[in-house]
Chain A
Amino acid sequence: MATVTAPAARVFLPGILRHRAAAKLALLALAAAVLVPLADARWSSGSWPAALTVDLTQPLGRVSDWIIDNRDSHPLFLYGFGYVSNAVVLSVRAVYLVLLAAGWAGVTAVAGLVAWRVAGVRLGLGAAAAFVACGLLGMWIPTMQTLALMVVAVLVSVAVGAVLGLAAGLSDRMDRVLRPVLDTMQVLPAFAYLLPVVLVFGIGVPAAVLATVVYAAPPMARLTSLGLRGADKEVLEAVESLGATSRQRLLTARIPLARKELLLGLNQTIMMALSMAVIASVIGAGGLGDRVYQALASVDVGAALAAGIPIVLLAVVLDRVTGAAGDGEGDPAGGRTGLSRRAGWAYALATAVAVALVGRFAGRLDWPGSWTLNIAEPVNRAVDWMTDHLYSGVPVIGGTADWAGHFTTWVLDPLRDGLQALPWWSVLLIVAALAWVIGTWRTALTAVLAMAAIGVLGVWRPSLDTLSQVLAAVAVTLVLGFATGVAAARSDRFERLLRPVLDVFQTMPQFVYLIPVVALFGVGRAPAVAAAVVYALPAVVRITTQGLRQVDPAALESARSLGASSGQQIRQVQLPLARPALLLALNQGVVLVLAVVIIGGLVGGGALGYDVVFGLAQGDLATGLVAGAAIVCLGLMLDRVTQPTERRAEKGA
């Protein structure tokens, strides 16, 4: 629409309107003045006009039915997806059996010893303790199920990601093709990936593993490509000047030089795989996620927590161990003690095997039932107490349920009703204006098209419902996040206190955030928003703090030398100079909030997330798929609207 005329307009506008944002807005207003009366006359205002929607439910339903009918007979499934499906089931089963055969002692020993070799004694003990804790909570079997699924999914993700990353890193053309796809995949909520795989594979382990792979492979691909491209040019030239073949160059220089990025990619892939493996419980992943899912469905917070704690422990251990592997490169002992390193691994291996064998002959493969600690009951008692005493009627401050109720009545409802009452074209205009002012006309065009696609799909109202939750959550996140970030940037002590908290919060999978909010606020839209805020807050705080701290000290010093007060320093120097970081924080905040608001459909958040869950639960894949597509569009729109131009430039480099 309006945006297409932008390049021509730039030529003459700066003379008239000096401010670029004002010029963009004026141009948009002009286009709106022409187009809106036309659209209004043609289709009427209010909600998205029915004439402009395309009903995909019927054809999608037919496709889904056809697939269900032919899954056992059509050659495409028999010889194509069937093999994939069988291979996945077999390998997950095999890993699971190996884990069981190793016994709890063997698995714990292997985890502890591997962590010890990779990351030192402390993490080694921590890893072993984490596995023991999983057993103590009575979650040994679900933990092993999740672990088996993770192992297969991570292996496949890393292989797929590395191959794509190699292609993108070595070929410019592949890079141009893959980069926008991977960038977009990175911002989509996990829920959007569930339905397409279910459509093809049905609910079960293969669908869960493949959804996990699709979700977790992009970071590996991106970082592999980044590492290969980021290699020191002169080193590569030196290698070439010595007459290396391109294969030698790849194996002896490019890949080793990209080690840090490769290990970071592995770390991110593992973390995302865990996050998705848990969420995929709604499509039959089993394991820990399933326990949480079942418990949440019956609002059994104690059981959810018992399964949630192992998830968090797994996440923290996996993150720290793989993170330490990435940092270990500068280790001066690495080369010189090559032999003792090997010996260390040999000792570790021998010990692990010995422990496993002892466990086996002692007949204690399964976690002993008498050693479990039932935390569900006490937790539920605590929650009941909370429900009785803290939910409502606490003098002066009210109660958590009251807060949630008030938040819903005073913030979420007006916001949702307001958005839904807006004429459809004005929503498009607002999206265009925001995206264009923050980014470029390209991002604005993508955002408007994505928003329009939501209307065309016929899910305008639920999408605006989701959007209202996202906006409310983002507003709360930004207020809290910027305030905390500014405080952390100004006080070293506060930052030191905050850092470990942020570290843990950033490693936790999205799913587990639902447990405490359900305990505190019950179910509904407010808890979904609360979970989203808690999930997005660490990233926003961290980016804000870093952005403020990286402000040129010379600029700050000169402001101070001119006698600026600390308020003036923040307002006039730090915040303007940290603008790119703040915009990035906004962008990240929006993407993360959306991901959890969607998952909030599981705890009564309603809207698009609920449509997906409903579609899965009822076998009504068409509804779910349309909602999934709308989630994709919403994610795309929100990302583009908040995408500063700097981020594009940075990535292009």
Chain B
Amino acid sequence: MSTDTRTDMTAHTTIEERPPVFSVDGLWKVFGPKAETVPADPELTSLPPAELRERTGCTAAVRDVSFDVRKGEVFVVMGLSGSGKSTLVRCLTRLIEPTAGTIAIEGEDVRAMDRTRLRELRRHRAAMVFQHFGLLPHRTVVDNVAYGLEIQGVGKSERRDRAQEVVEKVGLEGMEQRRPSELSGGQRQRVGLARALAVDPEVLLFDEPFSALDPLIRRDMQEEVVRLHQEEGRTMVFITHDLSEALKLGDRIALMRDGEVVQLGTPEEIVGSPADDYVREFVRDVPREQVMTVRRAMRPGECAGPGHPGAIEAGAVVADAIQVVSRSHRPACVVEDGRCLGVVDHERLLDVVAGTELRKEAV
């Protein structure tokens, strides 16, 4: 297993020490005639998308993408439609065959797998949840959930039992014998989620699973995913075009544009230090106090006094600190493992809300 020395500034320091589940390096997916020549030709790879299409008739849906998905994290790939995010997630299990680059799952080269091995990967190691659910309309809920196990050749009674467990886990008890057409959108996606969970995969892949749902249902489902992740700690790759969803669910976010990853980092990094104007424009309307942590807002090295008045955890978001500080009318201490790291006051917190803290640091 490869050890990655890149220092990702993740909120949970433990994640970066974990081994990667998926390692993607220099991945390309080009659609069009003679697609395989594009990634190999440095002259072509440097072209902007429109010119590339004019020159070769090819479209590069994924351009030279590299990242690691670490065990137990929720890795969000976010971008607008046409940014290549759905193509990217399909390349991971070769539902779409990549054009160039490497993909490894726990060190094993996915692109080198033969059919049997690839089928094993899809059956046991990575399961996917789809935007429009992809349920079999002629099967009941429980049979849809058990479908993955049926494909694997698990006996009828065993797969029914296991499916039943998962059905209960996603809150669909009592609907086992219904058909997908009799369910609401949210319930259908619960079936989709249950079907993926039933095969007990190492990684769950979500392809914009909630974008076809109403806003309220979507929020329920997001909370469901958060709950499942807390309970099971399963690795998840989550594709979305919704920034608030990405910030809510993601441990790390890869932001894509025109097939390229323009920034990869924690929600706080993306919002707090956008890599370029595109990202800045993207995150402009984000309620920063909900994303930025106190660690970033504090004045390091100071202490408001013995007993650490206020005492806020370093990982707490700024919105929580605002409550404490505005109630006590005095600066609050930021603590971690019982140590005081610094203080936050009105000024620092307001700077975060207004998005002016970076400029001040630069001065």
Contact = CB atoms under 8 A, between A and B. Distances in A.
Given A243-B119, A257-B137, A257-B138, A234 B151 contact: no
B122 A234 contact: no
A91 B131 CA distance: 51
B140 interface: yes
A344 B136 CA distance: 26
Interface in B94-150: 95, 118-124, 127-128, 130-138, 140, 147-148, 150
Interface string A309-331: 00000000000000000000110
Given A242-B148, A242-B199, A252-B147, A232 B120 contact: no
B234 interface: no
A35 interface: no
Nearest to B129: A238
Interface residues of A, number: 24
A244 interface: yes
A332 B182 contact: yes
B138 A235 contact: no
Given A240-B122, A242-B199, A243-B119, A248 B151 contact: yes
A563 interface: no
A336 B205 CA distance: 32
Given A241-B93, A330-B181, A332-B179, A259 B151 contact: no
Interface in B34-83: none
B119 A245 contact: yes
A164 B137 CA distance: 25
B147 A242 contact: yes
Contact of A242 (B133, B140, B151, B182): B151
A237 B120 CA distance: 16
A120 interface: no
B328 interface: no
Interface string A241-284: 11111001000110011010000000000000000000000000
Contacts of B151: 239, 242-244, 248, 252
Contacts of A243: 118-124, 148, 151-152
A235 B179 contact: no
B177 interface: yes
Contacts of A237: 90, 95, 130, 134
A335 B136 contact: no
A335 B121 contact: no
Nearest to B205: A241
A240 B136 CA distance: 13
B122 A241 contact: yes
Given A237-B95, A240-B95, A252 B150 contact: yes
Contacts of B182: 332
A253 B177 contact: no
Contacts of B133: 234, 238
A42 B3 CA distance: 88
Contact of B123 (A242, A252, A253, A334): A242
A241 B127 contact: yes
Nearest to B131: A234
Interface in A577-595: none
Given A243-B123, A256-B136, A238 B177 contact: no
Contacts of A252: 136, 147, 150-151
A250 to B, nearest CB: 13
Nearest to A336: B177
Contacts of A334: 179
Contact of B140 (A235, A329, A335): A335
A255 to B, nearest CB: 10
B136 A253 contact: yes
Contacts of A241: 93, 95, 122, 127-128, 130, 205
A586 B1 CA distance: 69
A253 B119 CA distance: 17
Contacts of A244: 151
Taking residues whose C-beta sits less than 8 angstroms from the other chain, chain B's interface range is: 35 or more
Nearest to B144: A238
Given A237-B95, A332-B179, A242 B127 contact: yes
Contact of B138 (A239, A242, A248, A259): A259
A256 B93 contact: no
Nearest to A332: B182
B121 A257 contact: no
B260 to A, nearest CB: 25
Interface in B181-222: 181-182, 192, 195, 199, 205
A256 B130 contact: no
Contacts of A253: 136
Interface string A436-451: 0000000000000000
Interface string A222-244: 00000000001011011111111
Contact of B132 (A234, A242, A248, A336): A234
B199 to A, nearest CB: 7
A334 B179 CA distance: 9
A251 to B, nearest CB: 11
Given A241-B127, A243-B119, A244-B151, A257 B179 contact: no
A248 B148 CA distance: 11
A232 B133 CA distance: 11
Contacts of B138: 256-257, 259, 329
B177 A234 contact: no
Contacts of A234: 130-134
A228 to B, nearest CB: 15
A201 B95 CA distance: 51
A252 B182 CA distance: 21
Which of B120, B122, B192, B195 has the most chain A CB atoms closer than 10 A to its own CB? B122
A329 B182 CA distance: 12
A259 B136 CA distance: 12
Nearest to A242: B148
Nearest to B149: A242
Contact of A235 (B118, B121, B136): B136
A54 to B, nearest CB: 46
A238 B122 contact: no
Nearest to A249: B151
Interface string B302-328: 000000000000000000000000000
A224 B148 CA distance: 26
Contacts of B137: 235, 257, 329
A150 B130 CA distance: 46
B179 A238 contact: no
Contacts of A239: 134, 136, 147, 151
B152 A235 contact: no
A235 B135 contact: yes
Interface in A332-353: 332, 334-336
A232 B140 contact: no
A335 B133 CA distance: 20
Contacts of A332: 178-179, 182
A244 B195 CA distance: 14
Contacts of A329: 137-138
Interface in B12-54: none
Which of B120, B127, B205 has the most chain A CB atoms closer than 10 A to its own CB? B127
B154 to A, nearest CB: 12
Contacts of A248: 151
Contacts of A240: 95, 122
B152 A335 contact: no
Q: Top 9 closest A-B pairs, CB basis?
A: A238-B134, A243-B123, A243-B122, A241-B128, A234-B134, A242-B148, A243-B119, A256-B138, A335-B140
12 contacts: A237-B95, A237-B130, A238-B192, A241-B95, A242-B122, A243-B151, A248-B151, A252-B136, A252-B147, A256-B136, A329-B138, A335-B177
Interface of A: 232, 234-235, 237-245, 248, 252-253, 256-257, 259, 329-330, 332, 334-336
Given A241-B128, A242-B199, 19 more contacts: A234-B132, A234-B134, A237-B90, A237-B95, A237-B134, A238-B195, A241-B205, A242-B127, A242-B148, A243-B119, A243-B120, A245-B119, A252-B151, A257-B136, A330-B181, A332-B178, A332-B179, A335-B140, A335-B178
